[in-house]
Structure 1
Amino acid sequence: MTQAHLYRGGRHEAESAPGRVYRCCACRNSDGRQLGARCPKLSNARHGTWAFAVDLPSLDRRRTMRRTGFATKAEASAALAHVD
């Protein structure tokens, strides 16, 4: 493989994390659905919490483990590292 094939979205494949870390909240829209990571108030650093999601190995279908409620991105990243 060439170096161009290994490069994806700002990192090398070998460096990519097994999951993702993001901010979300429990705000709801007018229909009553949670906005999650799409909340416009997340631009305020005091709004919402940090979360992680990781795809777990499965034979028949995709299983995603999600955990929310972390105060900082570092806490969510550390918890994600323990899942592996």
Structure 2
Amino acid sequence: VEVLSPSTEGDDRGRKWEQYRRLASLRDYLLVAQDEPRIERYTRQAEGLWLFSETSGLDEELRLESIGCTLALRDVYERVLQAPFHEPR
């Protein structure tokens, strides 16, 4: 899991991602936005391919089958968003 910030986002999407995806045991790579309720997910598929998906919105949940866990974005962002957050309409 990497939390994206303006100073680290390029590294998280570039060099770190290149290194992480070489780890045979890695099943999911999550990039968590710090300024909005959004999690980008890369999931390892057969033959080493990676599937991209995105979950956004405080009412959404992200299921991680690889570890048998469900993350409610409302819980993930409970203390992260400093100002009251209002989703775009």
Do both proteins adopt the same fold according to a TM-score greater than 0.5, normalized to the shorter chain? no
Whose RCO is larger (CA < 8 A, sep 6+)? 1
Structure-1-length-normalised TM-score: 0.30
Bigger Cα Rg: 1
Q: When the two structures are superposed, what TM-score results if normalisation uses the length of structure 2? A: 0.29
